[in-house]
């Protein structure tokens, strides 16, 4: 999860800045909603978009769906048990024990919170899996007019964790070749952490120094204008993608208000 998948898909061909704008709109739409219906519909649309337009293989989509369902569970349970029932005139209590009270209103609030978290994770996953890091940095600089030094910094941070992960795997395989055993349990985990920490730290320092030298060599900010080998243009399809998501979010909100399911964050009561 959270790695770029190089495919030839409509999502991969979109301008990253416009795709980021659409994803930000989806996240904003989920943030304002307090009920489960709106984030559930947004989550479904994100899942279908990644599968059909992003051409992510269906088995991989199923594997991604497991953490999407499990990660928000503690947040949803916490909110369901500790919902402030004083806001409701006649709460429907389902279970009570000590400080914990489970109600229909609490379940709705907890489910809504959990689905909102799932929307944020799914939106981030869709963007990262279908966006080339280099294209993203170029789009930030060329289309959003972010200073090149910051755009290049985003590119570096975008690539840094996968590089460290590969470095970790290289160190682990090197230890296995040398016959260094890996213990089990907590003691084995502490021993592995001790053996891997110093080589990983040294690798991170080396990569940081090389990155700093590369940024200095490119002379960011030295000239008022820069030339680029690749130009990131905003096309009709990019604008259509953003408008389609905005219209879909508006339609979901309209349906929620029509059926009386919409409860916004700033509206007290339920």
**Can you spell out the DSSP letters for 76-105?**
HHHHHHS--GGGSSS--EEEEETTEEEEHH
How far, in whole angstroms, is CA 102 from its chain's centroid? 30
Biggest CA-to-CA distance, the chain? 69
Closest CA to 112 of 231, 270, 3: 270
Q: What gap in Å lies between CA 117 and CA 43, rounded to an integer?
A: 10
How far, in whole angstroms, is CA 22 from its chain's centroid? 13
Q: What gap in Å lies between CA 243 and CA 47, rounded to an integer?
A: 18
Residue 264 and residue 32 in contact, taking contact as beta carbons nearer than 8 Å: yes
**Residue 206 DSSP class:** H
3-class DSSP assignment, residue 33: strand
Other beta carbons less than 10 A from residue 265's beta carbon: 11
The pLDDT of residue 98: 63
Task: State the number of CA atoms in the 13 A half-sphere of 86 facing the CB.
Answer: 1
Tokens encoding 89: 């005139």
The pLDDT of residue 266: 43
Please report, in tens digits, the pLDDT of each residue of the chain (270 residues total). Answer: 667 888 889 999 999 999 999 999 999 999 888 788 999 999 999 999 999 999 888 888 888 888 888 888 888 777 777 676 666 666 667 666 666 677 777 777 788 888 889 999 999 999 988 998 888 988 988 898 888 778 777 777 777 777 777 888 888 888 788 777 666 777 777 777 778 888 888 888 888 788 778 777 877 667 777 777 788 889 999 999 999 999 999 999 999 888 877 665 544 444
Q: What gap in Å lies between CA 115 and CA 27, rounded to an integer?
A: 11
Query: C-alpha distances in angstroms, 250 versus 41, 80, 82, 162, 256?
Result: 12, 27, 31, 37, 10
Q: What gap in Å lies between CA 101 and CA 83, rounded to an integer?
A: 8
The pLDDT of residue 217: 80
For tokens 């985003």, the residue is 154
Q: What gap in Å lies between CA 110 and CA 112, rounded to an integer?
A: 5
Residue 256 and residue 39 in contact, taking contact as beta carbons nearer than 8 Å: no
Residue 149 and residue 188 in contact, taking contact as beta carbons nearer than 8 Å: no
Q: What gap in Å lies between CA 77 and CA 9, rounded to an integer?
A: 37
């Amino acid at each position: 999860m959270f790695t770029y998948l190089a495919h030839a898909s409509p999502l991969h061909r979109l301008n990253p800045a416009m795709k980021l704008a659409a994803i930000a709109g989806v996240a904003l739409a989920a943030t304002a909603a307090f009920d489960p219906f709106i984030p559930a519909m947004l989550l479904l649309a994100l899942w279908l978009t990644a599968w059909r337009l992003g051409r992510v293989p269906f088995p991989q989509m199923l594997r991604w769906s497991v953490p999407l369902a499990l990660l928000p569970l503690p947040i949803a349970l916490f909110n369901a048990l500790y919902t402030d029932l004083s806001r409701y005139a006649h709460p429907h209590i389902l279970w009570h024990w000590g400080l914990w009270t489970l109600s229909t209103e609490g379940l709705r609030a907890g489910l809504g919170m959990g689905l909102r978290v799932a929307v944020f994770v799914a939106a981030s996953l869709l963007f990262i899996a279908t966006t080339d890091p280099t294209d993203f940095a170029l789009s930030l600089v060329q289309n959003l007019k972010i200073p090149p030094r910051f755009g290049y910094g985003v590119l570096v941070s975008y690539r840094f964790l996968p590089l460290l992960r590969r470095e970790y795997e290289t160190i682990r395989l090197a230890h296995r070749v040398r016959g260094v055993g890996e213990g089990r349990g907590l003691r084995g985990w502490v021993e592995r952490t001790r053996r891997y920490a110093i080589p990983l730290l040294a690798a991170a320092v080396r990569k940081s120094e090389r990155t700093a030298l590369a940024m200095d060599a490119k002379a960011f900010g030295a000239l008022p204008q820069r030339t680029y080998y690749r130009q990131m243009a905003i096309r009709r399809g990019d604008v259509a993608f953003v408008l389609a998501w905005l219209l879909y979010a508006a339609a979901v909100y309209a349906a929620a208000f029509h059926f009386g399911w919409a409860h916004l964050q700033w509206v007290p009561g339920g």
